[in-house]
Amino acid sequence: MQARLKRRTEILAFLAFFSLWAVHCTAADLPDTVEIDGLAKYYYAVDFDHSMHIDIVESCAACHHHTAGTPAVDEKCTMCHDRTEASSPVACQRCHAPDPFSAEQVYSRERESRRYHVDKPGLKGAYHRSCLGCHISEGAPIGCQDCHERNQLGDSLFKASLETPNAKVAAGGGGGTH
């Protein structure tokens, strides 16, 4: 009983927090930069320039689909959600799991196999497909390290210390004989 009460209080506090936060975010109190550190093992955190991106996109919905005060726009979503209010979570990771292929995630997807959203990307996939999709179509930088500066462990993962004969050839301009 005690435990249940405690749990309920926790949930209430949680809800209260997020409703406040949602209001905040629609009230023009937007972060100028967002630190994204999901790949911290191999890359330094990205200081995402939120305000610059706000300036160049048409609406928040370009990234925050059906959140941040914008209702769903994707045809796939509006089939069911055409009259649904914008949902409250704003941060990507509130819906997109950082570990989409852990046993827990795999089984929870399968337990609810009749749920429509079984093919929801994880956090890393959601970011990259959303960011890179635009970066490609808009001619923005698309190299991995254009956004993510690699750390030492990352360098060793990619064996960056190796000689790059190909790069040299390219730099020398000549090219091979065959």
Q: Which residues bind another protein (CB under 8 A)?
A: 76, 100-104, 106-107, 109-110, 113, 118-119, 121-122, 124-126, 128-129, 132, 142, 144-145, 157-167, 170
The nearer residue to another protein, 5 or 167, going by C-beta atoms, is 167
Give pairs for 22-27: CB < 8 Å, separation 24+.
22/88, 22/89, 22/90, 25/68, 25/69, 25/90, 26/68, 26/69
The nearer residue to another protein, 71 or 121, going by C-beta atoms, is 121
The nearer residue to another protein, 12 or 142, going by C-beta atoms, is 142
State the minimum distance, in angstroms, from the CB of residue 103 to another protein: 4
State the minimum distance, in angstroms, from the CB of residue 36 to another protein: 13
